[in-house]
């Protein structure tokens, strides 16, 4: 297929902006991206789809387009992110680097382009394949007749004579039988320099997705070395058509997510809205709050969609303000979310993803659940790990309350209540703060605290009296104990 073939597809309504003399370039595959520099994922001949979410300055256009030119792509098909015109810097960069630029109508789904182009490429391959004609046609027939992903993978297994699976970036088996070691294969996929790649007797083939890099993609796994098998490559392309349909379906479902979650945060009667999305208003729900260091809330939303699709399919995800929220039927799926995020870690780059999950509540308590989820997420900021999931049931009430206190205020309270002891320890190389923490953790038991500290009870009594003297406090007073215990927690 040539670039000009796309212009002859009236249903796509693509408009050439740059490169009228380059329209005879062959298109060999399709790749969607919102990465600022997608070089590592390009091998030449691609029709690149982009919604320009990476664009912030003119320099961004130069970096993006030069990466396309250096990789030998066939053309760039772009849609303005805000229903305006394509950036002038993008047009100039495409002219300078000789990259054909096609404008995508803002009302045209990238999924429609993907389906049309993949089917066209598949049809061409069928025409050129000769001996493989029957196998190609049978795979195409499954898609054309709406057989679905499971039937397509079954047909691919039969045609290739090899096991086939589709995995998400979280290690979830989207289609195919159980696959031991699926998470390890996904991690290999996320860090691979080049694809397809053969790993432990399995071939990993990328399934294109719009935006999000590999975290927004699926991976087709075929047993044996199928890196240069045309039928395996075709199967990956056809799985991409099904992937686009799934993404489009989620987008439709999530249209109700934004208004519903905004109303959750604002409070009010939610029964009618919950019923409108097909849920039982009487059933308990959980609220999820997520964020990533460095922002990129859209990528966090896409990742959270993949995670929840694997563990609790009937969920709604939306960006509200600077955070990503989700609403999902209650269940014991916290550990599955944690495991899915750990699998996706290699694809996060320098980002750190934090997720807070509320306790199960009925719909009248959803606003409080959203606050609990947001506080739980903030509590994760002080915990280790590239990904951190904190559930409301896992943390004490005082930890949730402290998570909502601004960092500056926490430091001020800690200093006001514990300052003299902190200064004393710094000046004398002692650890009276540690003694105080153990004493309070042991509920003021002299024998238990002394045993934990490996000191005599009289030594402990001396240290505690020194703390009381420095702070002007009476540790036999319950209220003062509570204040000092909370002050100690602010430093954790």
Give 405-441 pLDDT, tens digit per residue.
566 666 677 788 888 988 998 998 889 999 998 998 8
For residue 400, the model assigns a pLDDT of: 56
Range in 154-163, 380-389, 425-434 the model is least confident about: 380-389
Check whether 251 has a pLDDT greater than 90.
no
Reported confidence tier of residue 131, pLDDT bands at 50, 70, 90: very low
Residues found in the chain: 492
Say whether pLDDT at 361 is over 60. Answer: yes
Binning pLDDT at 50, 70 and 90, where does residue 401 land? Answer: low
Q: Is 313 exposed, middle or buried (0-12, 13-18, 19+ CB in 10 A)?
A: exposed
Q: Which residue has the higher pLDDT, 287 or 135?
A: 287
The yes-or-no verdict on residue 404 having pLDDT over 60 is no
Task: Give me the percent of the chain exceeding a pLDDT of 70.
Answer: 92
Query: Do 33 and 67 meet the contact criterion of CB atoms below 8 Å apart?
Result: no
Position 129 scores a pLDDT of: 47
pLDDT of residue 380: 82
- CA-to-CA distance for 117 and 208, rounded, in angstroms? 12
Closest residue by Cα to residue 419 from 476, 473, 358: 473
> What is the spatial distance between Cα 44 and Cα 75, in angstroms, rounded to a whole number?
10
Tokens of 98: 């000789």
pLDDT tens, position by position, 66-99:
999 998 999 999 988 766 789 999 999 999 999 9
Q: Cα-atom radius of gyration of the chain, to the nearest Å? A: 28
**How far is it, in rounded angstroms, from Cα 261 to Cα 324?**
10
> What are the angstrom distances between the C-alpha of 431 and each of 415, 421, 435?
16, 9, 7
Instruction: Take residue 387 and report the two structure tokens written for it.
Output: 């990904």
Rounded Cα gap, residues 433 and 118, in angstroms = 65
CA distance 60 to 57: 5
Q: Which two tokens stand for residue 373?
A: 């989820």
Q: How confident is the model at residue 318 (pLDDT cuts 50, 70, 90)?
A: confident
In the predicted structure, residue 274 carries a pLDDT above the cut 80: yes
Exposure string of 17-31, with b = 16+ CB inside 10 Å and e = fewer, is bbbeebbebebbbbb
Residue-level pLDDT at 174: 92
Transcribe 55-101 into DSSP letters: -SSHHHHHHHHHHHHHHT-SEEEE--TTSSPPPHHHHHHHHHHT--E
In the predicted model, is pLDDT for residue 456 greater than 90?
A: yes
pLDDT at position 127 over 60? no
Mean pLDDT of the chain: 85
Nearest-10 crossing angle of helices 149-160, 133-144 = 170
For the chain, give percent helix, strand, coil, nearest 5: 55, 15, 30
Residues 6+ apart with CB under 8 A from 450: 456, 457, 459, 460
Q: d(Cα 212, Cα 115) in Å, to the nearest integer?
A: 19
Q: 116 and 144 in contact (C-beta within 8 Å)?
A: no
Residue 343 has pLDDT above 60, yes or no: yes
User: What is the C-alpha end-to-end distance of the chain, expressed in Å?
Assistant: 60
Q: What is the pLDDT of residues 175-192, one digit of tens each?
A: 999 999 999 999 999 988
Asked whether 113 and 104 are in contact (CB, 8 A), the reply is yes
The answer to whether the beta carbons of residues 30 and 104 sit under 8 Å apart is no
- Residue 271 C-alpha from the chain's centroid: 29
Confidence of residue 278 (pLDDT cuts 50, 70, 90): confident
Token pair, residue 294, equals 């460095």
H helix intervals, 75-225 = 88-97, 110-129, 133-144, 149-160, 182-191
Is the bond into 365 cis (omega within 30 degrees of 0)?
no
Return the pLDDT at 136.
72
Contact 443, 485 (CB under 8 A): no
Highest mean pLDDT among 198-212, 258-272, 355-369: 355-369
Round to whole Å and give the CA distance between 58 and 427: 54
């Amino acid at each position: 297929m040539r670039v000009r073939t796309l212009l002859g597809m009236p249903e796509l309504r693509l408009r050439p902006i740059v490169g009228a003399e380059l329209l005879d370039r062959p298109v060999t595959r399709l790749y969607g991206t919102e990465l600022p520099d997608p070089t590592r994922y390009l091998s030449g001949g691609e029709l690149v789809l982009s919604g320009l979410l990476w664009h912030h300055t003119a320099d961004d256009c130069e970096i993006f387009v030069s990466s396309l030119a250096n990789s030998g792509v066939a053309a760039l098909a772009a849609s303005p992110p805000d229903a305006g015109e394509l950036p002038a810097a993008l047009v100039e960069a495409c002219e300078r680097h000789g990259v054909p630029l096609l404008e995508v109508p803002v009302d045209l789904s990238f999924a429609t382009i993907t389906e049309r182009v993949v089917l066209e490429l598949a049809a061409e391959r069928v025409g050129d394949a000769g001996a493989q004609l029957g196998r190609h046609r049978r795979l195409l027939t499954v898609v054309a007749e709406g057989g679905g992903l499971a039937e397509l993978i079954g047909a691919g297994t039969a045609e290739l004579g090899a096991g086939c699976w589709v995995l998400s970036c979280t290690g979830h088996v989207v289609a195919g039988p159980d696959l031991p070691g699926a998470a390890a294969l996904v991690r290999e996929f996320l860090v691979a320099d080049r694809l397809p790649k053969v790993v432990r007797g399995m071939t990993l083939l990328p399934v294109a997705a719009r935006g999000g890099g590999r975290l927004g993609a699926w991976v087709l796994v075929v047993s044996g070395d199928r890196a240069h098998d045309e039928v395996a490559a075709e199967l990956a392309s056809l799985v991409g058509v099904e992937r686009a349909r799934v993404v489009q379906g989620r987008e439709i479902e999530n249209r109700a997510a934004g208004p519903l979650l905004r109303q959750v945060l604002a409070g009010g009667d939610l029964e009618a809205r919950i019923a409108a999305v097909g849920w039982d208003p009487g059933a308990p729900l959980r609220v999820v709050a997520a964020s990533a260091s460095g922002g990129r809330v859209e990528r966090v939303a896409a990742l959270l969609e993949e995670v929840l699709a694997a563990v609790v399919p009937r969920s709604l995800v939306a960006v509200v303000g600077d955070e990503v929220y989700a609403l999902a039927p209650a269940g014991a799926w916290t550990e599955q979310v944690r495991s899915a995020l750990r699998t996706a870690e290699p694809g996060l780059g320098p980002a750190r993803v934090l997720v807070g999950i509320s306790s199960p509540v009925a719909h009248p308590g959803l606003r409080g659940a959203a606050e609990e989820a947001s506080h739980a997420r903030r509590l994760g900021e002080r915990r280790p790990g590239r990904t951190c999931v904190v559930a409301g049931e896992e943390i004490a009430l005082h930890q949730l309350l402290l998570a909502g206190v601004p960092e500056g205020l926490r430091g001020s309270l800690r200093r006001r209540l514990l300052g003299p002891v902190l200064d004393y320890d710094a000046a004398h190389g002692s650890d009276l703060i540690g003694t105080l923490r153990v004493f309070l953790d042991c509920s003021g038991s002299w024998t238990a605290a002394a045993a934990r500290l490996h000191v005599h009870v009289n030594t402990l009594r001396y240290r505690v009296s020194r703390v009381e003297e420095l702070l002007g406090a009476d540790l036999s007073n319950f209220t003062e104990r509570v204040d000092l215990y909370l002050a100690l927690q602010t430093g954790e």
